[in-house]
Every structure is written in C-alpha cells, then in structure tokens.
A and B are shown apart, each in its own frame.
Chain A
Amino acid sequence: MHEGNQILETINIGLVILDRYLKVTAWNRWMAYHSGIAEDVIIGRPLLDFYPNLGGPKYTRFIMSVFSFGNYAYFSQKLHRFLFSMNNPHVSSDIIPIMQQNCTAGPIRGRNGRIEQIFIAVQDVTENVINEMRLREKVIQLEEALAKVKMLEGIIPICSYCKKIRDDKESWHQMESYISTHSEARFSHGICPECYDRCIDEMMSNPTSPKR
C-alpha cells in the first residue's frame, strides 16, 4: 500500500476527497466505520446522494470557497454541530445522539496548479463538547451554591465584656444568635477545660449557689 494511503487508512480522523463534481474519490476507513457507508459503495458517486443535506447554503459555502479561492475552510462545531450526520460512538450517545465535528477543507491542486479536488478532514469532538457541557453545569451549580452562602465580612463590633454583637440598627445580640442569622453556621454548646475548672471551683466555694 502507498505510504499516503497507509496514513489515510489508519489516521484517527475522517478524510474525504471530492472532485469538482462533488464525487467522492477517497473515503478512508474512519469514515466508512462511523458512517456505515463502505468505501466501495461511495467511491465515484456524488456525495449528495448519501448526504442530501450537504446541498444547503452553509455546506455549499464551506465546500465552494475552497474550490473558488483555494484557501482552507473551517466548519466549526460551535456554529454547525456537525457536517456528516453519524451516530455518536461514545457512551454519551444518550445525551448527544449525533457525533459532534470540527471539519477542515483544503485544496488539492493538479500539475497545472488548478484546484482539481478538495479534501475534508473530520475530527470527532463529541467528548470535548460533553466535557464543556459538564463544566458549564458545574459552574452553574457553583454559582447557585455561592448565592446561598451568607458571608460574614468586614469589622464586627463586639462588646469586650459580654461578647454581644451590635448590628447595623444599633441593637445588641447574643453572638450565637447573630452568627446563626448571618451565616450557615450553627452552634452546639459544651464547656472548655478552663471554664470547667472555674465552674467547679465556684461551686465548691459556694455550694448553695444554683447549679447551671
């Protein structure tokens, strides 16, 4: 097999070559596998027989700009989703049934420099699209979560003795009540070792005082 053909057959992108009448002159194994159309079935036949939608304006623009101007043309997944309708071969087929594609077309010139054929390279970007979708969902979830979080920030005026906190309406509140109202924090009450020792000392020195 010719070196070029070996690359054509084994490369992990779709490669199609069309002549000026849009007849298929090359259809690599990747295209055959994903389209379900065998090479010997499509070679020599007009592409539009198999993909009639490619006669639409955006497809014509993509293909004819290469034949007319000899530049590379780009068919972006973000704008067009796909060029060739093929099943999504990944596990994400429930979410996106059709394979998402970025496509590039370029000229193939004959010996006289005239553009006689064009190639179309098809890149499967479905997994990238799925990852972008997941990323967008996560961003939305994070934004929603962030909106729920009540933030305590700035300088909080607190009584040096009783530890009550003054709000913006000049009212004083118990610290637990203030923080619970202005954040998602909740309190569970206990006693630290220093306070425990102090309380025991107080109770022992004054046994008649009420127990807390």
Chain B
Amino acid sequence: MNAENTFMTLLERDALQEIMNISFGQAAADLSDVMNLHITLTVPRIDVLQFSEVCDCIKDDISRSNSDISMVKQFFSGKFSGSSVLIFPHGEGQKLLRLFDENSDQLTGAQYDMDVLEKEALIEISNIIMGACISKIADLLSDVVSYTPPRYYAQEQIQRILEESFALGNSFAIFFKTVFHFNDFEASGFLFLISNYETLEWLKMAIEDYLKEYA
C-alpha cells in the first residue's frame, strides 16, 4: 500500500508485525488465564490507511456478517493512542451470556430483557479483550495507556458512529485487525485498533528502540 511505504520502511513494518504477533499472543494467553476460557486471536493484519478509508475497511470486513451486528467502541490514550472497535455478529452476545450464568436462575429470572443482558455482557467482555490487547502492545513498547469507558452501539447507530469517528480525511492511521474466538462458546468477533495520527511518529521511535533491543 502506498501510504504504508511512505510512513514505514520494510524493516519497521516487519518489526511492527512481530510486536503485534507477540502482543496478541500474550494477550490471548492472559485472556484465557483471567477469563478461565480458551480464547484464540488470529495473527493481526496491519495496514497504514488514510483515516477516511478506515470506515470502509471495517465495513468490508464485517459485510459478510449479517446486518444485525453489535459494536463496542472505546478510546485509549498514552503515547500509543487511538480507538478500539469490537464487532460481534448477531447472536454471539447471547452465546457469551452463558459466561455470566454461574447460577443458572440468575439471568433467566427475566428481571431484564435479553437485549439488555446481552448488551451488558458484550460491554464487559469487550472491555477485557480490548484492555488485554492494548495493554500488551503498550507493555512491549514501554508505554502506559488509560481508557475511556466502553460504549455500546447497535444496528443503524453503527454506520453513523463509524463515519463520524473516522472522518478526518487528511491524516493517516495504523489499522490492526484480528478475529477472536471463544472456543468454549463457539462465539467469535472482530477487533479493530485504529491508532491516531499523532501516534505514528512515536510508534516509529518505539519500533526503533525495540529493534535496538531485540534485533
């Protein structure tokens, strides 16, 4: 991709891919540990994109899912800063509800609609997944990040929020994509991390430090 060549050398690109592979590997292991479940994360795909392309890129990836998807979005800030977006295809939230149903009567007591419970479950799970992945990248690049509370969106809100969030046409973003899978629940989803433009210069320096230390 042209933008990628402009902003990163081949060596930097390979180092970033390695950092992501290690980070996401550690994140999956720690997630399995904390959640007491077997969770797999695919090798992350990395692209340098124009900010305005991010929305289309996410839409391309999720277009194979049915339209009734759920999205959880969160901002993270440190030297490595940006947005994380988790997309769950329809029905995955209901599968993951079983994770919270330790006392079988508790959730099926019908005090709340399933939609409400599904939303709460997705927010709680997303928060942990996003935290795991971002914190491991930050650790490896010697950064400390903080997070905003995750927000949940459904149906027609998703398109609007994605378009509003990634409308800055003239800046570039690094776009990371992985697919996560909860083996015990047969549930999957997409995780996208979109770094801010301001992060690019810092990221190049952090990659340089990483290469000095490990290469």
Contacts and interface: CB of A to CB of B under 8 A. Distances in A.
16 contacts: A57-B36, A60-B36, A61-B34, A68-B33, A68-B135, A69-B34, A72-B127, A72-B147, A72-B149, A73-B128, A74-B124, A74-B149, A76-B124, A78-B117, A79-B124, A113-B144
A72 B75 CA distance: 12
A68 B100 contact: no
Interface of B: 30, 33-36, 100, 102, 106-107, 111-112, 116-117, 120-121, 123-124, 127-128, 130-132, 134-136, 144-145, 147, 149-150
Interface string A48-71: 000000001110110011001111
Contact of B128 (A65, A79, A109, A113): A65
A39 to B, nearest CB: 29
Nearest to B128: A65
Contacts of A113: 144
Contacts, number: 74
Contacts of A74: 123-124, 127, 149-150
A56 B117 CA distance: 20
Contacts of A65: 34, 127-128, 131-132
A56 B106 CA distance: 15
Interface in A72-101: 72-76, 78-81
Given A78-B112, A78-B117, A81-B106, A71 B100 contact: no
A71 B123 contact: no
Given A57-B36, A78-B116, A79-B107, A69 B132 contact: yes
A109 to B, nearest CB: 7
Interface residues of A, number: 23
Interface of A: 56-58, 60-61, 64-65, 68-76, 78-81, 109, 113, 133
A58 B124 CA distance: 11
Contacts of A133: 111
B144 A78 contact: no
Contacts of B30: 68-69
Residue among A56, A68, A69, A71 with max Cβ neighbours from chain B (10 Å): A69
B141 to A, nearest CB: 13
A159 B6 CA distance: 84
Given A57-B102, A64-B34, A79-B100, A70 B135 contact: yes
Contact of A61 (B36, B117, B135, B136): B36
Nearest to A70: B135
Nearest to A80: B100
Contacts of A56: 102
A133 B109 CA distance: 13
Contacts of B100: 58, 79-80
B117 A79 contact: yes
B107 A70 contact: no
B57 to A, nearest CB: 25
B145 A70 contact: yes
Given A71-B131, A74-B127, 11 more contacts: A61-B128, A64-B33, A65-B34, A65-B131, A70-B135, A71-B128, A71-B130, A72-B147, A74-B149, A75-B124, A78-B117
B124 A69 contact: no
B29 to A, nearest CB: 10
B120 A69 contact: no
Contacts of A61: 34-36, 128
Contacts of B150: 74
A71 B135 contact: yes
B117 A109 contact: no
A71 B147 contact: yes
